[in-house]
Amino acid sequence: MKEDMITFALPKGRLLPLVTGILQEAGLFNVDMEKDGRRLIYMDEEKQLRYLICRAADVPTFVEYGAADLGVAGKDVLLEQGKDICELADLGFGKCKFVVAVPSSKLDLYRGGLSGYLSRFGQLRVATKFPRVAESYLRSRGLPGEVIKLSGNIELAPLVGLAEVIIDLVSTGRTLSENNLAAIDEIAGATARLVANRVSYRVKYERLRSFIETVKKNR
């Protein structure tokens, strides 16, 4: 591989068209994405750019190890993974937030927040896909609670008594209300971020700078 090649890890899924949109406007992404989306690597020989199509949650890993110089990842993923990478710019899209939610029918019990609940009930179980975010939230507020890691459909947990509350990522809040859940606290907002490997950002900075500037300008 050539030294001055830049490898860019792109997240598959809802962010992909938004990211490629920015890149195309900036004149940086001159390849046609295949419709079936099976190809994993796209090359732009002329500009010495290489694009990898990764799972959104894997982008930070590719970037941390230096397999990719740059990448786009949601702040939610960055918060959960705590990887050692540079966060260069807020791209503004892919807005969502981490919330604490409880069954709407039990909203009364949570008037005093989670600590109010814990002064009357002995146990607090939190179902989430984001155990690290959940644990640091509980710790920062001094709340004793047990985090139960699930892989999806978190909304089920309080409905069937697996957990009292959930911590989940929401964009519109529709899934919550459809499942009769209500948010009682917001933990953090998240948007898509441009990230870079800690070494690339220094070693390849001359090449990265114009690239980053263009992306920032078009966000």
Partner 1 sequence: MENSGTVLMPGGVRDLLPGEARCKREVENSLLKLFCSCGYQEVVTPTFEYYDVLAPALNDLLAGQLYRFIDDRGQIMILRPDMTTPIARLVGTRLNEQDLPQRFCYAANVFRRESHSGRQREYYQTGVELLGAAGAGADAEVIGLAAESMKLAGVKDFQITVGHVDVLTGVLRGAGFSSAEQKEAKIALSKKDMVKWEGLVAGSQLSAVRKKDFAALPYMHGGAEVLDLLEGLIRDEPAKRGLDCLRRVWKALSDYGFGAQAGIDITLLRGLGYYTGIVFECYVAGVGYPLCGGGRYDELLAKFGYSCPATGFALTVDRVLEALEKQSPSFEERRPDYFITGDDLSSIAEKAKELRENGFIVEVDISESPRDDAVSHASRKGIPHILVMER
Contact set with partner 1 (CB under 8 A): 1, 3, 61, 64-67, 82-83, 85-90, 193, 197-205, 209
Q: Which two tokens stand for residue 146?
A: 């047990």
CB of 136 to partner 1, least distance (A): 13
What is the widest separation between alpha-carbon atoms in the chain? 66
Least separation in angstroms between residue 182's CB and partner 1 is 30
> Which letter does DSSP use for residue 23 in this model?
H
In this complex, which beta carbon is closest to partner 1, that of residue 65 or of residue 121? Answer: 65
DSSP structure string for the chain: --TT-EEEEEE-STTHHHHHHHHHHTT---SPPPTT----EEEETTTTEEEEEE-GGGHHHHHHTTSSSEEEEEHHHHHHH--S-EEEEE---S-EEEEEEEEGGGGGGGTTHHHHHHTT-S--EEEES-HHHHHHHHHHTT---EEEE-SS-TTHHHHTTS-SEEEEEESSSHHHHHTTEEEEEEEEEE-EEEEE-TTHHHHTHHHHHHHHHHHHHT-
**CA distance linking residue 174 with residue 51, whole number of Å:** 34
By C-beta, is 74 or 158 nearer to partner 1?
74
Smallest separation (angstroms) from partner 1 to the CB of 89: 7
> What is the nearest approach in angstroms of partner 1 to the Cβ of residue 94?
14
H-helix or E-strand containing 211? Answer: helix 205-217
Q: Which is nearer to partner 1, 20 or 197 (CB)?
A: 197
**Considering beta carbons, is residue 86 or 118 the nearer one to partner 1?**
86
Cβ of residue 67: shortest distance to partner 1, in angstroms? 8
Looking at the Cβ atoms of 34 and 84, the one nearer to partner 1 is 84
CB of 68 to partner 1, least distance (A): 10
